[in-house]
Every structure is written in structure tokens, then in C-alpha cells.
Amino acid sequence: MKVLVVDDDPIVLAVTQERLERSGYEVHVRNQALGTSRWITENVPDVVLLDVMMPALSGTELANVLRRNDIPSIVILYSSKDPAELQKLVAETGAAGAISKSESDEGFMKRFESLLRLARAAASKPPARKE
């Protein structure tokens, strides 16, 4: 499974890449949001893990761009923001969910894999019929 991690903090980017690679994911990284939608269109990752707070173009703005362009990747927000605020951003962007940057390695991977399962299950359900 191909995962793209987008974060402007080089330390967080490296730690997150290492966490995911240890669990067997193919990880690609970008240190800025600008130009990322083009990269995603050309490379089609299964999952995009987006830092919420980045300069020039925030992760939430990028998530909205991806949604408007019907990019099929699963989008997960990643931030040190308050969990309630993160859930609000998830609802606003249509992301699959959010993970706190303060999670332990084990907590991060459990949450990441849980969000993947939920997103896949939601994608495999047939659309609701209108009556």
C-alpha cells in the first residue's frame, strides 16, 4: 500500500515515514503542500497523511482540493491540534479521520490502521437508495 506523508516539519516527516515503513507500507514524503495535488494525480497513493498546519497551503485546504477533484486516495489529517478541533476539520474536509501527532508509535499505527479499515468499509458499501 502506497502512503504519501505531507508535513513541513522534517523531524515529524522522518519519524512518521519510519513508523509506516516499519509496518510494511511504501512511503513517499513531501515537505510542502504546494504541488502535492499534482504529485497525487500522477502517482495515485492509496493514502495521504496530511499535516493540518503548513505554510502557503494548509493540509485542510489541500484536503478540500483533493475532494473537489475526486482524488480517490484516502485522506487522513495529522496534527497536534485539540482532538475536538481535529474532528471538526475532518467533518469540514471529508477526510477519513485524524491522528494526533502526540500518539505513541503503537497508538499511531493502531489509529492509522483503524481509519484505513473504516475508510475501506465505507467505500465498499453501495450508495444508499433514495426513496
Q: What is the pTM of this model?
A: 0.88
Res 131: pLDDT: 54
The pLDDT mean for the chain works out to 89
pLDDT category, 56, cuts 50, 70, 90? confident
117, amino acid identity: R
Residue/partner pairs of 111-119 with CB below 8 Å, 24 or more apart: 112/20, 112/49, 112/76, 113/23, 115/74, 115/76, 116/47, 116/74, 119/74
Residue 82 predicted with pLDDT over 70: yes
Q: Model confidence over 58-74: pLDDT tens digits?
A: 888 888 888 888 887 89
Q: Is the pLDDT of residue 124 over 70?
A: yes
pLDDT at residue number 107: 95
By residue count, the chain amounts to 131
- Residue 54: pLDDT above 80? yes
Domain limits of the chain?
2-124
How large is the average pLDDT for residues 15-27?
Answer: 96
Alpha-helical (H) ranges within 1-131 are: 10-22, 36-43, 59-68, 83-93, 105-124
What pLDDT, on the 0 to 100 scale, is given for residue 121? Answer: 87
For 21, 56, 67, 76, the CA distances from 5, given in Å and listed in that order, are 11, 17, 17, 10
Superfamily of domain 2-124: Response regulator (3.40.50.2300)
